[in-house]
């Protein structure tokens, strides 16, 4: 009699254990499915979300050159002033979150070697400085029917101010090196879905 009770109790325990394991497995499976569905919804929402081109605006300040120890130019440093028009603080930690484009006339070309070398923290409704570092050859390349053309440095050194104009300072001389076809830049922050227009000011 005692043996039958023990077997019955063990049978009930095994049944309960099987039910518990089954329930746990179902719960985990449902949780995984819910996580996948929510991830897909979030992914679709982020892809369909329009770019916000009004949250952050920019005005051109000046441009100068970053040169090596021999005085040869390495990069153009474009200085802009950003204005945060939103109610949220905005931060650029590094260039990995950004897609940087050059404007050539009505065309856009990705500048994969352009960077924002210094972090930017922009408080809501406030201003902050931004430096865009663009390699020398990238900034001077122009669009043509033959593709990209590099303008030789010696040719650029011979450039003079337009008739009736003069260079007010060294920054004006640097700006004069830039081809007129370069109409500015466009930064896409893929995390925040911001589009930041960096206008031409040279």
Each residue's pLDDT tens digit, 115-133: 999 999 999 999 999 999 9
152 shares a domain with 185: yes
pLDDT at 146: 47
Answer whether residue 151 shows pLDDT above 90: no
3-class state of residue 154 by DSSP? helix
Containing domain of residue 19, as a range? 1-49
Residues 35, 61, single domain; the answer is no
100, 184 contact by CB (below 8 A): no
Q: Are residues 185 and 92 in the same domain?
A: yes
What is the number of domains present in the chain?
A: 2
Cα separation, 92 vs 133, in Å, equals 14
Q: Measured between alpha carbons, how far is 135 from 151 in angstroms, rounded to an integer?
A: 13
Same domain flag for 37 and 104? no
Q: pLDDT by residue (tens digit) across 74-96? A: 899 999 999 999 999 999 999 99
């Amino acid at each position: 009699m005692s043996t039958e009770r023990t077997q019955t109790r063990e049978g009930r325990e095994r049944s309960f254990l099987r039910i518990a394991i089954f329930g746990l497995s179902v719960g985990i499976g449902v949780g995984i499915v819910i996580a996948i569905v929510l991830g897909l919804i979030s992914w679709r929402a982020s892809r369909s979300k329009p770019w916000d081109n009004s949250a952050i605006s920019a005005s051109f300040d000046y441009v100068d050159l970053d040169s090596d120890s021999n005085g040869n130019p390495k990069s153009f440093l474009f200085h802009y002033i950003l204005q945060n028009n939103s109610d949220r603080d905005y931060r650029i930690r590094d260039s990995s979150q950004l897609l940087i484009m050059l404007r050539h006339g009505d065309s856009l070309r990705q500048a994969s070697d352009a960077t924002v070398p210094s972090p930017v923290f922009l408080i809501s409704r406030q201003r902050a400085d931004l430096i865009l570092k663009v390699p020398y050859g990238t900034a001077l390349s122009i669009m043509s029917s033959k593709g990209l053309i590099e303008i030789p440095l010696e040719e650029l050194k011979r450039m003079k101010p337009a008739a009736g104009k003069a260079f007010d300072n060294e920054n004006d001389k640097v700006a004069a090196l830039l081809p007129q076809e370069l109409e500015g830049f466009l930064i896409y922050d893929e995390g925040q879905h911001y589009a930041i227009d960096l206008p031409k000011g040279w």
